[in-house]
Structure 1
């Protein structure tokens, strides 16, 4: 089994949100999403800046071809608007593990149901369809909003890898690692569904 075959092309839909395989056709929509809040100015993210969106997508497609990453465009079903992007990455078929990352959304949809719904879709596909044993996350040690969001999913903090990666400003970051095992997924799913129900007021 190769990682290319492990994560096959799929479109995931729920709650008015559609996660579809990232393609060059998403370039304009993705650039507009990044411009909503000028997200590339945040030093602890890797959002493409002006004029960088095509290269960003091409890199994601190359990583998909290599089997190490599968990127999605996050799309509003009703309007077709691209809201951001998220990916499976560090795909390890031999141990049935994927990580979820490269995640960012237009500022106008942050702190809404979008991230919770997207994570529910991706975690559900990873655990229920791909039969993953573990799903992981990693984030910058200074990206406290991301750490809180990951912890709200029910993931457990594994530790910190010091001096692990370069930021966009060429400083060296520590990386905070999280994970969830398959046995923890049912409770996490119930909590995510509860949060979405509260958001929808039902």
Structure 2
């Protein structure tokens, strides 16, 4: 890995969450997180099987060295528990474009503050520290929960790429694309995210 790899691997944090660049020190925590809900059995998730967590980290670090992905471990600050993972990916450094994906969380923290707060951290870092022009998402056309979550953040639907990628069960998915532009972040989405987070004030 060289200094030319962008974005730089930094730890970012809120009052409740810490996002650390993913490494082998997170292996056991990730394994415990995927076991919480047996996430690998879901067709539309990127969560690894428990015995493939090391390979998952291997690939993330390889993609990091290539400059295409920066994976994070999502950690609960109070307990130090690894809750899941989320990444910047499909990085295009010359135009300062990243996408947010490879996101999954232990079942016990799904539908809590975690996803919204993690997305807020990644968006704020992308637009206000990295000066990105756009942040994108892509999701399975059958992952309606993911589509609703992305739309709830205020992202715009860019379109659908049909017959685009293999699912883990061997079927072929269509991919739905979303994005937020920098002026949209400053023009209202940042404030909207704060309103969403206020709903979770005091929640675990």
Pairwise TM-score range, normalised by the shorter structure: over 0.9
CA deviation digits over 1:65-95, x for unaligned, max 9?
A: 0000000000001110000000000000111
Query: What is the Cα deviation at residue 15 of structure 1?
Result: 2.8
The equivalent of 1:32 in structure 2 is: 32
**Residues 69-148 of structure 1 aligned to structure 2 (within 5 Å):** 69-148=69-148
Runs of 4+ in 1 over 2 A off after TM superposition: 2-6
| TM-score under structure 2 length normalisation | 0.95
The equivalent of 2:64 in structure 1 is: 64
* Paired residues of 1:4 and 1:66 also in contact (CA < 8 A): no
The equivalent of 2:189 in structure 1 is: 188
Query: What is the Cα deviation at residue 198 of structure 1?
Result: 2.1
- Secondary structure of 1:20's partner? strand
| TM-score under structure 1 length normalisation | 0.96
CA RMSD of aligned residues (A): 1.5
* Paired residues of 1:3 and 1:91 also in contact (CA < 8 A): no
* Paired residues of 2:5 and 2:65 also in contact (CA < 8 A): no
Query: What is the Cα deviation at residue 162 of structure 1?
Result: 0.5
* Paired residues of 1:3 and 1:68 also in contact (CA < 8 A): no
Give the number of equivalent residue pairs: 201
Structure 1: state its 5+ residue gaps.
none
The equivalent of 2:201 in structure 1 is: 200
* Paired residues of 1:16 and 1:78 also in contact (CA < 8 A): yes
